[in-house]
Structure 1
Amino acid sequence: MATPKAPSKQSVLNLWDFLVKGGIADLTRTPSEVIDTGRTRELHRYDKAKGVRSKGIPVLLVPPLGSQAKCFDLRQGLSLAQAFVDRGRPTYLVDYGPLRGEDRLVGIEHFVNDVLPPAIRKVSEDAGGRDVHLVGWCMGGLLSLGTTAVHRDLPIRSVAMVASPFDLSKQPLLRPVQVASKVTRGKVVGSALKAAGSVPAPVVSIGFKATALPTYLKKPRTLWNKREDREFLGQVQAVDHIMNNMLAYPGRATLQVYQRLALRNELATGRIQGPNHLIDLATVTVPVMNVAGRTDVLVPPAAAHHVGELLTGSPDVRLPLAPGGHLGVLTGTKAPETTWLHLHEFLEAHDRRRRSA
């Protein structure tokens, strides 16, 4: 009978650092400064990289609700924000921060009308009056595209999305919820959301983890098998930090997503009537891209790429497919050579092309 191989010194050191000393990954944020604030809005401008010439028009990173803005700045060595900075692109981030008090009750319209427009105008002003590229992950992409459709006077050059959903009939995980809602007419969940006021941060974290339940169940075994791989362990730590520190989801916005997107699938038509504006994606006249994750169970590729059927007025619609799940497609270890290259190529292609009138 073969004698089990003893753990190497490197694996013991890796596991000690990962489990006992507080981690392996360097979670230091890419340096930035706050240049504007408002209700649920903190606008950051990332510091320029030393010795790198500025080139290209600015990009504004737009996170989803419920997630830390750190999703664009996962860890040192794997940060989309730093990748833009290193290329010399003026880079900005809008951060909603933890929602408190009355802010827990805001709806989607608050972000489309009162958060993104002033942030976009400030970025343009700070960058010398230039147009702005928007890059959003998941709901951040929907907010970016919705803002573009409603506020056509904004200096938006293009919208690039990653894993943003547009046809939730192609999301198998929602079918039990949709069936149950038909029986209850959506009253049970809707009443619970109204009573709660918002979805607490721990519940948001559990929800995201539930979409990758097999991965979490196999995690102890995976960590042991990968104990020699310090880079892998650092990535796991960084992802855990995001998943364990999700933010509360505003109650009205949650109810809107549940009723209008999950149950009635209104976004699949390309037209949603808001409290003050009609969002009609056919009116979008800027270039748009939506990168889908090949193994994304939360937003399957078909759910993401449906947007291509809705953007009849866009001069350039790109629908790439890249490796990874819902977060991995944005900031997994393969993202720099796949998703990020798609983003760089798309933005550079439209740096010089003027917006349509």
Structure 2
Amino acid sequence: MSIVAAVSRAARNALALTPFGSGVGAPEPMPSDVLCAEPHLTLRRYHHPGPADAPAVLLVPPLAAPASCFDLRPGQSVVEFLRGSGRAPYLVDYGPVGYTDRRMGLADWIDRILPESVLRTSADRGGAPVDLVCWSLGGTLALLTAAAHPELPIRSVTAVGSPLDYRRMLGVPQLRLLAAPTGGLLTSAAIRAAGGVPAPLTRLSYRLSAWDRELTRPFFVAGNLANTDALARMQTIDRFLADMAGYPGRFMDQVWRRFVLAGDLESGVLRLGGRRIALADVAAAVLLVGGPRDAITPAGAVQAGLRTLTGARALRYETAPGSHLGILTGPDAAHSTWTYLDKFLTEQVEVAGGVAPVR
């Protein structure tokens, strides 16, 4: 690129980044149809070029993070990858969560939202089994759903950056010590009073987990003013963070009491009211992907599933470079997480004697 062209592009990008500009790299979501639109359960079926009997893959996001995590932009899209590998992607979107949703808890996802999403996806494919691909807490919820409802047509669960042992989460051992004198009652009371964790606090906590990115942002922009693609990736993450929602009160209180304080996941058994949901009851094949540089869910918290998911038909653990979101859709995901996923999903179809994806 000539100096004149570089200067011209830098000027256009600088203007686009201002409040008066339109931004760099507008979102280009993959085309899809809405199959179901219920409270906190919007099921999307993406258009795909594969055969009618292409394997169905249901994408399961965590709470708070927007469902666009699976389709950030061309080149950073799990949906795009799945379509290109001959699979039929579906997505469950919970929509915004606010104070009016404060009574929603773990059971809403384990007993209604995720089972219904699996059943509707399977029905749309003529009753075929479904492969679940999940990120962050979405993987934890999917595994608990598979354990609680073994009758669901779930062939496999891929959990990327999904916490399965909160002892290994940053700051949790210290929180347990601080909460010990009151049994965590003060935090529970604060969560209930606020109706959950509001969206602004969720966004702030995510930004703090990537403090180095925030700190070096001005230097990154200055050094990449002529690099439209780099700035577009940056703005994609900015939009993603801006769309983050909150956590409902009952759900967050249960996570605090059962996952953080009681350590249910590290023991492999969630005690929810009078129920006992054991991760050992997951019969589907499971792929776990952890990130050694993931500041939100350390790799060890994901790897712990090798100890608790003892009933899985097949169980594998892999590592991938990048941040918490980066291991799912970062620049290295195509050569790590997506490669593991492609091999794993192909194996599940072959084991079941089904039709392999078209390459």
Report the TM-score, using the length of structure 2 for normalisation.
0.91
Counterpart of 1:185 (choices 148, 170, 183) is: 183
What pairs with 1:250-329 in structure 2 (closer than 5 Å)? 250-275=248-273, 277-329=275-327
Distance in 2, matches of 1:11 and 1:179, equals 51
SS at match of 1:99: coil
Task: Give, in angstroms, the shift of residue 38 of structure 1.
Answer: 2.5
| Separation (CA, whole Å) in 1 of partners of 2:106 and 2:62 | 11
**Partners of 2:74 and 2:65 in 1: how far apart?**
19
Name the amino acid aligned to 1:307.
Answer: G
Q: Which residue of 2 aligns with 1:209?
A: 207
Q: Is the 8 A contact 1:39 1:115 kept in 2?
A: no
Name the stretch that deviates more: 101-110 or 193-202.
101-110
Deviation digits for residues 13-35 of structure 1 (CA, Å, limit 9, x no counterpart): 33332335232223122111111
Letter in 2 for 1:191: A
> The residue matched to 1:253 in structure 2 has which SS?
helix
Of the structure 1 ranges 345-354 and 20-29, higher mean CA displacement relative to structure 2 is found in 20-29
Equivalent AA in structure 2 for residue 346 of structure 1: F
Tell me whether 175-184 or 86-95 shows the greater mean CA deviation.
175-184
CA distance in structure 1 between the aligned counterparts of 2:268 and 2:54, rounded to whole angstroms: 31
Unaligned runs of 5+ in 1: 1-6
- Residue pair 1:32, 1:47 contacting (<8 A) in 2 also: yes
2-structure distance, mates of 1:187, 1:318: 38
1:160-199, aligned counterparts within 5 Å? 160-199=158-197
Matched, 1:45 2:45: yes
> Secondary structure at the residue paired with 1:279?
strand
Amino acid at match of 1:217: L
Indicate the residue corresponding to 2:130 in structure 1: 132
For 1:32, give the aligned amino acid: S
Contact 1:54 1:89 in 2 (8 A): no
Match of 1:334 in 2: 332
Cross-structure match for 2:357? none
Q: CA RMSD in A?
A: 1.8
3-state SS of 2:351 partner: coil
Shift of 1:175: 3.6
SS of aligned partner of 2:144: helix
**2 CA distance for matches of 1:277 and 1:186?**
22
Q: Give the Cα–Cα distance (whole angstroms) in 2 for the partners of residues 257 and 201 of structure 1.
A: 17
Q: Which residue in the other structure is 1:4 paired with?
A: none
The aligned counterpart of 1:35 is: 35
CA distance in 2, matches of 1:76, 1:24: 14
The Cα shift of 1:54 comes to 5.2
Which residue does 1:14 correspond to in 2? 13
Cα distance in structure 1, aligned partners of 2:278 and 2:340: 26
1:241-256 equivalent positions in 2, closer than 5 A: 241-256=239-254
Q: Work out whether residues 43 and 119 of structure 1, in 8 Å CA contact, stay in contact via their aligned partners in 2.
A: yes
CA shift in 2, pair 1:265/1:242, >3 Å: same
TM-superposed CA distance for 1:95, in Å, is 0.6
Cα distance change, pair 174–212 in 1 and its aligned pair in 2 (3 A): farther
Query: Offset of 1:272 from its aligned partner?
Result: 0.9
Alignment check: 8 A CA contact 1:168 1:262 kept: yes
Corresponding residue SS for 1:195: helix
> In structure 2, do the counterparts of structure 1 residues 12 and 157 end up closer, same or farther at CA, with 3 Å as the change threshold?
same
Q: Distance in 2 between matches of 1:163 and 1:329?
A: 8
1:251 CA drift (Å): 0.8
Superposition deviation, residue 229 in structure 1: 2.6
Partner secondary structure for residue 133 of structure 1? strand
User: What does 1:1-150 correspond to in 2, within 5 Å?
Assistant: 8-19=7-18, 20-49=20-49, 52-53=50-51, 56-100=54-98, 102-150=100-148
**Aligned equivalents of 1:101, 1:235: Cα separation in 2:** 32
Taking the aligned partners of 1:181 and 1:194, their CA distance within structure 2 comes to: 16
Q: What percentage of aligned pairs have identical amino acids?
A: 34
Deviations 1:93-133 (A, max 9, x none): 01111125643320011101011111111111100110000
Q: Secondary structure at the match of 2:42?
A: strand
- How far has the Cα of 1:222 moved from its partner? 1.9
* Residues 307-350 of structure 1, C-alpha deviations (whole Å, 9 max, x = no match): 01111111321111001111111111221222111111111110
The answer as to whether partners of 2:30 and 2:46 remain within 8 angstroms in 1 is yes
Name the structure 2 match of 1:3.
none
Deviation (angstroms), 1:67: 1.1
Deviates more, 1:230-239 or 1:10-19: 10-19
**Equivalent in the alignment of 2:3:** none
Question: Is the contact between residue 134 and residue 142 of structure 2 (CA under 8 Å) also seen in structure 1?
Answer: yes
User: Unpaired segments of 5 or more residues in structure 2?
Assistant: 1-5, 354-359
Contact 1:105 1:198 in 2 (8 A): no
SS at match of 1:352: helix
